[in-house]
Structure 1
């Protein structure tokens, strides 16, 4: 179950009010951008949204795990990727109650819990994206390279285990800054959980981390998905199958869901990387 990007979690990390600029229109006594009403609305809306996603997502992904475990002997490579995707979703969902509490009352937990929750969220966020990519590539092999699949099924099952391990290691590697530098800090009148880089970490290193996340976690994943599904669609259009239209609709829905859940957050990362590099 793809989840919304984390951009919505970052709104409350800056509780300051932007002062008016000199020469700006108006009487000069009102702030240029007063965020109090926005924060008040977010404190009421975001906890409900996070809890709703947590409840619906937990039920759905738990059912996926139970079904995959029940039919373990019949499990294919796609089923294995789906199982790991569901586990990643569940671990990601477990962090939402903490963010719901933080959105309402600020971060009330310790810095150690900040490291755990922030790291768990990000690791599984990127894990979900990469497992969706693995599923799209496996569908390409199954549909487009159907002849090879019959002769290398056992080898593909073995390779899928290594791929799952590589995905988890990659996700952890992308989130090393959260593991090392996440802590609770005071911002204005609110305590928040965020990354606080030490002064000896250069801007170049920070931009490189952001660039790697966007490249591996979004653009590379999107490129693989588009290529694989484009080739699958080409194969389906040539085939005379009654389920062809249904398959095309499912592919369209998968790509659309991926873009809606990943695009906003990664665009924020791109803007952040550009802003950091321009300083």
Structure 2
């Protein structure tokens, strides 16, 4: 028995850089992020880093995102009363998707601190709902870029098909939710609660054992393509044509519109590129494991936690990027503020300025307003 333990320790030291004496330190570690490349290293420090780093950041994202997205939903449902354009439909669905996504963060915050104590069923449900809303958010951002392309570049066609476009936008949203649900099926299938030898339970994905990890590679490939590559490609194509159209327009507001476009694209790339780059590394590792040095693996683990948190910030940034920078929402907010201050600073006989009853897409074209 002693010889077996000595051989075991020697093997771990030479193959992975592991220098501990307790095999349980490395044998039972759950997939805490996109860079869980191997289970052969002592990752106690990485777990401790996650427990300190993720919870406060997740709660900040949750609070900011909840305030912004709830305000969007409130304005659409209580102030405007009805949806008038395709972008209105997409933005309302985007706010709902972000809110549902944010509701999952407290579970992950608790999981980071003391492990998963909510059972297998809730593990599957939380994982699936989180992924459904992640994909739906990305696909809705794609739809918004397409809608802006139609409204700005295809102005005549957009006006002629305005009523049909509003109907089509609702069908598109149903399609987005359906596709997102299909893409989230792996989360529901493979999510499990694992317990290490120290008694800690974790909600993680446990893929079926198969040749060359084909299942894991397929799941990661779908997430990379549908959650980043497709939205980025569509946004790049649509906004490139929009930029060219705006540069040819004689409008003093075109420079403001260009700044809005650049901010939208930059924030999307800045928040999503690091996370998806690490997913690509994980997919390549699943196909052909080449990284065995524990220090390198630790670096990927920490980078994965930071990149994942950065990607999550899209849920609290979307209201400000796609809504509050728009002229129409600023006008609505100003109306609300004036109504709230009406009893103090405004005369009751003085009418509150109203936004035009019909704000067509072409009215908002010069400033790329929403």
* TM-score class, shorter: 0.7 to 0.9
| Partner Cα separation in structure 1 for residue 224 and residue 275 of structure 2 | 9
Q: Which runs of 5+ in 1 are unaligned?
A: 1-17
The answer to whether the aligner puts 1:109 opposite 2:102 as a matched pair is no
Q: Distance in 1 between matches of 2:41 and 2:123?
A: 29
> Shift of the alpha carbon at 1:183?
1.6
**Aligned equivalent of 2:262:** 252
User: How many angstroms apart in 2 are the aligned matches of 1:203 and 1:19?
Assistant: 23
Superposed displacement of residue 250, structure 1:
1.0
User: By how many angstroms is 1:94 displaced?
Assistant: 0.1
* 1:38–1:217 Cα change, 3 Å: closer
- Judged with a 3 Å threshold, the aligned counterparts in structure 2 of structure 1 residues 36 and 207 are, in CA distance, closer, same or farther, namely closer
Return closer, same or farther for 1:34/1:115 CA change in 2, 3 Å cut-off: closer
In the other structure, the counterpart of 1:77 is 86
Per the normalisation by structure 1, the TM-score is: 0.85
Given that 2:146 and 2:238 are in contact with CA atoms closer than 8 Å, whether structure 1 keeps it comes out as yes
Matched, 1:148 2:157: yes
CA 23–37 in structure 1, closer or farther in 2 if over 3 Å, else same: closer
Deviates more, 1:52-61 or 1:73-82: 73-82
- Which digits, 9 at most, give the CA deviation of each residue in 1:188-232, with x for residues without a partner? 533110111234697323322221221122111110000000101
Question: What SS is found at the alignment partner of 2:208?
Answer: coil
1:138 paired with 2:124, answer no
The higher radius of gyration belongs to: 2
Count of residues in Structure 1 that have an aligned counterpart in Structure 2: 259
1:68–1:75 CA contact under 8 A, matched in 2: no
1:150-173 Cα offsets, whole Å, 9 max, x none, are 100011111101110111111111
Q: CA RMSD in A?
A: 2.5
1:208/1:44 CA distance change after superposition, 3 Å: closer
Q: CA deviation at 1:73?
A: 2.9
Deviation for aligned residue 1:242? 2.0
For 2:283 and 2:255, the matched residues in 1 are separated by 41
- 1:217 and 2:231 equivalent? no
TM-score (norm 2): 0.65
**1:176 counterpart (166, 178, 185):** 185
